[in-house]
Amino acid sequence: MSGMGARVIALAVGFVALVTLPYWMPGIYYINVSSQILFSSIFALGLNVLAGYGGLVSLGHAGLFGIAAYATGYMLQHGFGHPVAILTALVSGLASMALYAVLSLRATGIGFIMITLALGEIIWGLAYRWISITGGDNGINLHGRPQPFGIAINTANSFYYTTLVVFLVAFAAVAVFVRSPLGAALMGTRDQSRRMTALGYHVWAIRFWACMLSGLLTAVSGVLFVYYTQFISPQALDLTASAEVLLMVISGGAGTLLGPIVGAALVIVVKSVVSGFLERWNMLLGAIFVAIVILMPEGLVPGTARLWRLAWRKAGGRAARESEPKAVSKAEAKP
Amino acid sequence: MSALTVSQLCKSFGGLHVTTDVNLNVEPGERRLIIGPNGAGKTTLFNLITGEITPDSGSVALFGHDITRVPSRRRPHMGMARTYQIITLFPHDTIIHNVSLALLGLSTMRWNPLIDMRRQGHIVERGREALERVGLEHIAERPLAQTSYGERRRVEIAMALAQNPKVLLLDEPFAGLSIDERHDVHKLLLGIPRDVTMVMIEHNMDVALEFAERITLLHFGEVIVEGTRAEVVADPRTREVYLGH
């Protein structure tokens, strides 16, 4: 099977599996885990726009995620409705991302990582200490979820489907973006920023817009997260959270469309499901990451695709060799 | 009016004067060759002209417009294109993608996040035209990683030509090429119409001398000799710089 055909079939199977998931998943707990995977995937997709396609690795994205989650909680706590809360969350997420971008896009590489890390830590510190707004260590509790188009999303199934719709929109947005001229330009600035300038591109502005897309997806994910858990505390935006989402991106395959989703599924499954059976699940996750780095340094999705192609070519080669002797014998038989 | 005017250009890195009072006047349609030993400041001069580095003093003008303070990224829009001595392409993409990026660089479409880049008929068409000029249209869809060094050199030139520059700066376009490839690139450069002004850095004298009408010799960041091909070749200072006596 060609790579293209395999890709289309895999996507179709994945889509059908996601839509029918509540019908075959055993139990509400696993449907909730699936919801977590989906909103974590949106977060990972957002970071992947920067880290994978833009070559700008951020270690402060949990801060943005947290700002969106806190904004939602804060607005709801102060009596505003869900639409206002969600809008505030998205706007404040984007505004913080813009600030992040202005400060951190002065550098690339290690410099960018360190500035984003520092910004993320500042936001974590604010969440922890600015008690009048964030509630400090106690965090903010939510009461209830919104009702889009009058549909209550209190049950595991309804929340799952809401998350799925948002996820599919986010996925489509990133898929369209990476094929577009702006997406190509972003990858160009990752590979040859000097050349991009010499070709007439505004490298800084391209990176800035990529940051905004990344920030929007991160904020969306933060909103879904806070509605899912009904609670936000500083723990959700510490450095570990930033590192975790980065690991999702890298383990699945940075700079690929499906990689962050596979990475998110891996991390969430080990964290939520395997941790029920295995106390040292952190160690297992570590071992998995080490294995990925050794066997598929490019990440699970591109790594599997590479092995698949290799296996296919080998099988094809064998088929060709098997048919060859027959042809020779026919030719020999002629005279 | 000159196509490219460089006046009193100076640049130093710390105590090292890489460009000292360089003056350069290139007429429209001219073919100018810049020669000089390694470390003479030839590529630095190109980087100053394209704005990749900012001069300490002096000015650069394109068709009479002072562009010294114009950001590097604006200069391609004003008709300036360059190639790199060390091949600087997009290795993960196809040849046509590389050329398409060059074309999009001058189009407002480069900001569009919604359309499919590969479905933009006129961009692909113009990209193929540019590849046809360098004789690579038959491998347009090939990933750059699977091309030879000589082909990459030609992709560099195709990307510059795709932007329809008025002034084209070529930084050692023959470096690392085989004799046959050199011949092809040479023919290609001779075929570029006269509405393009060309400035070329080159070490390879046999092809370069044939190309140029006027030659500028740089040494330790200074212009030592400038004149017609015959004048510069005959000048004793040229011999001194190149042969050391």
CB pairs under 8 A between A and B: 88
Q: Say which residues have a Cβ less than 8 Å from residue B166's Cβ, sequence separation at least 6.
A: B3, B28, B62, B63, B79, B80, B195, B196, B197
The pLDDT of residue A215 = 97
Task: Give B23→chain A minimum CA distance, Å.
Answer: 23
How confident is the model over B15-43, as a mean pLDDT? 92
Give A-chain residues touching B113 at CB under 8 angstroms: 176-177, 180-183, 209, 213
B115 touching chain A per CB within 8 A = yes
Asked whether residue A128 is domain-assigned, the answer is: yes
Asked whether the beta carbons of B55 and B32 are under 8 A apart, the reply is: no
CB within 8 Å: B73 and A182: no
How confident is the model over A255-262, as a mean pLDDT? 95
Domain assignment of residue A243, given as a range: 30-295
Asked whether residue A329 is domain-assigned, the answer is: no
- CATH value at residue A202: 1.10.3470.10
The pLDDT of residue A332 = 42
Segment among A326-330, B30-34, B111-115, B142-146 with least mean pLDDT:
A326-330
Asked whether residue A121 is domain-assigned, the answer is: yes
d(CA A190, CA A56): 8
Helix axis angle for A239-252 and A28-48, nearest 10°, is: 80
**CATH architecture label of B1-79+166-245:** 3-Layer(aba) Sandwich (3.40)
The pLDDT of residue A3 = 62
Please state the domain count of chain A: 1
Buried b (16+ CB within 10 A) or exposed e, A146-167: beeeeeebeebbbbbbbbbebb
The pLDDT of residue A330 = 42
Task: Using a pLDDT cut of 70, give the percent of chain B over it.
Answer: 99
Of residues A29 and A152, which shows the higher confidence score?
Answer: A29
The two tokens of residue A20 are: 């029918």
The pLDDT of residue B244 = 62
Cβ neighbourhood burial of B37 (10 Å; 0-12, 13-18, 19+): middle
B109 touching chain A per CB within 8 A = yes
What is the number of helices (H) and of strands (E) in chain A?
Answer: 16, 2
Residue A324 has pLDDT above 90, yes or no: no
The pLDDT of residue B214 = 92
**Looking at residue A234, what DSSP letter applies?**
G
Cα B43 to the center of its chain, rounded Å = 10
Question: Among A180, A192, A202, whose Cβ lies nearest the Cβ of B112?
Answer: A180
The pLDDT of residue B238 = 86
Residue A47 has pLDDT above 70, yes or no: yes
CB within 8 Å: B73 and A179: no
d(CA A282, CA A273): 12
The pLDDT of residue A333 = 41
Residue B105 has pLDDT above 90, yes or no: yes
Residue B245 has pLDDT above 70, yes or no: no
Of residues B1 and A221, which shows the higher confidence score?
Answer: A221
CB within 8 Å: B113 and A203: no
Cβ neighbourhood burial of A18 (10 Å; 0-12, 13-18, 19+): middle
SS (H, E, C) chain B: CCCEEEEEEEEEECCEEEEEEEEEEECCCCEEEEECCCCCCHHHHHHHHHCCCCCCEEEEEECCEECCCCCHHHHHHHCEEECCCCCCCCCCCEHHHHHHHHHHHCCHHHHCCCCCHHHCHHHHHHHHHHHHHCCCHHHCCCEHHHCCHHHHHHHHHHHHHHCCCCEEEEECCCCCCCHHHHHHHHHHHHCCCCCCEEEEECCCHHHHHHHCCEEEEEECCEEEEEEEHHHHHHCHHHHHHHHCC
Residue A327 has pLDDT above 50, yes or no: no
d(CA A335, CA B14): 83
The two tokens of residue B106 are: 């001058």
Residue A93 has pLDDT above 90, yes or no: yes
CB within 8 Å: A184 and B72: no
Residue B167 has pLDDT above 90, yes or no: yes
Asked whether the beta carbons of A65 and A215 are under 8 A apart, the reply is: no
The pLDDT of residue A323 = 58
Please report the beta strands in A160-260, taking only residues with DSSP state E, as ranges in sequence order: 231-232
CB within 8 Å: B112 and A187: no
Cβ neighbourhood burial of A109 (10 Å; 0-12, 13-18, 19+): exposed
Looking at every residue in chain B, the average pLDDT score rounds to 91
Question: Among A176, A199, A209, whose Cβ lies nearest the Cβ of B76?
Answer: A199
d(CA B230, CA B224): 15
The pLDDT of residue A270 = 93
Task: Give B223→chain A minimum CA distance, Å.
Answer: 25
* Residue B228: strand pairing partners: B214
Task: Give B160→chain A minimum CA distance, Å.
Answer: 8
Residue A317 has pLDDT above 90, yes or no: no
d(CA B99, CA A102): 31
ipTM: 0.91
Rg of chain B in Å (alpha carbons):
18
Q: Given its phi and psi angles, is residue B63 left (phi above 0), alpha (psi -120 to 50 degrees) or beta?
A: left
CB within 8 Å: A197 and B77: no
Looking at every residue in chain A, the average pLDDT score rounds to 91
Segment among A46-60, A113-127, A309-323, B191-205 with least mean pLDDT:
A309-323
The pLDDT of residue A319 = 66
Asked whether residue A250 is domain-assigned, the answer is: yes
Give A-chain residues touching B114 at CB under 8 angstroms: 176, 180
Asked whether residue A332 is domain-assigned, the answer is: no
Cα B60 to the center of its chain, rounded Å = 16
B110 touching chain A per CB within 8 A = yes
HSE-up (13 A, CA, CB side) for residue B154? 27
CB within 8 Å: B73 and A201: yes
Of residues A210 and B208, which shows the higher confidence score?
Answer: A210
**Looking at residue A106, what DSSP letter applies?**
T
Q: How confident is the model at residue A328 (pLDDT cuts 50, 70, 90)?
A: very low
How confident is the model over A178-202, as a mean pLDDT? 95
d(CA B106, CA A186): 16
Residue A96 has pLDDT above 90, yes or no: yes
Adjacency order of strands within the sheet including B16-26: B16-26, B4-13, B57-62, B65-66
**Closest to A270 measured CA to CA, from A256, A289, A257:** A289
For the stretch A105-114, pLDDT in tens is 999 999 999 9
Of residues A78 and A151, which shows the higher confidence score?
Answer: A78
Q: Where in chain B is the domain with CATH 3.40.50.300?
A: 1-79+166-245
Instruction: Give the strand pairing for B197-201 and B214-219.
Output: unpaired
Question: Among A180, A187, A199, whose Cβ lies nearest the Cβ of B102?
Answer: A199
Residue A154 has pLDDT above 90, yes or no: no
For the stretch A191-208, pLDDT in tens is 999 999 999 999 999 999
The pLDDT of residue A77 = 92
